[in-house]
Amino acid sequence: MSRLILFNKPYDMLSQFTDRGSETTRATLSDSIAIPGVYPAGRLDRDSEGLLLLTDDGRLQSRIADPKFKTAKTYLVQVEGEIGEEALTALRRGVQLKDGLTRPAEAERIADPDLWPRNPPIRVRKSVPDGWISLTIREGRNRQVRRMTAAVGHPTLRLVRWRIGDWTLDGIAPGEWREVRV
């Protein structure tokens, strides 16, 4: 039986078990997960939060992380500015980035989600509104969601991965994890 861990990676934590090459101590997965033999299926940037899957099964890890399987990943994204239908349509069609056109995404405006407070909080500018979108992609380029929202004129302020395939973050607090059957 394969192990699958659903972990809510906090902001400012590396999505690896060790921190090499840094003079300062940074938070890693080993600060929260003490299960031998599990490894992340994909990555989540240090300045992003949310669902990170870990497994001891190499095939499952590949099925989750490899772009050829097109596993859907849903992000709750706080963006700068009031995002309009034109920007959402561009995200849905695919956005031209320096490394090519993205695959079409599912994108919609959402109400402010009921999330935990981020520490430190995002920068807030009183003269510039912000809003939230739900964005589902089926590829995994480096910092892709941030680059996509910037390309349509709405830089990302906060990024929380909420779902990967059928697995969600529902009921898992930051820094906590839950094991599920696969």
Q: Would you give the distance in Å from CA 107 to the centre of its chain?
A: 15
Please list the active-site residues: 45
Average pLDDT over residues 25-45: 92
Average pLDDT over residues 8-30: 88
* Residue among 111, 114, 172, 104 nearest 139 (CA): 104
Question: Distance between CA atoms of 130 and 109, rounded to whole angstroms?
Answer: 11
pLDDT digits (tens, 9 = 90+) for 103-140: 999 999 999 999 999 988 888 888 888 999 999 999 98
Length of the chain: 182
Q: 72-164 domain in CATH 3.30.499.10?
A: no
Class of domain 3-67+167-181: alpha beta
* Topology match between the domains 3-67+167-181 and 72-164: yes
Bond prior to 120 in cis (omega within 30° of 0): yes
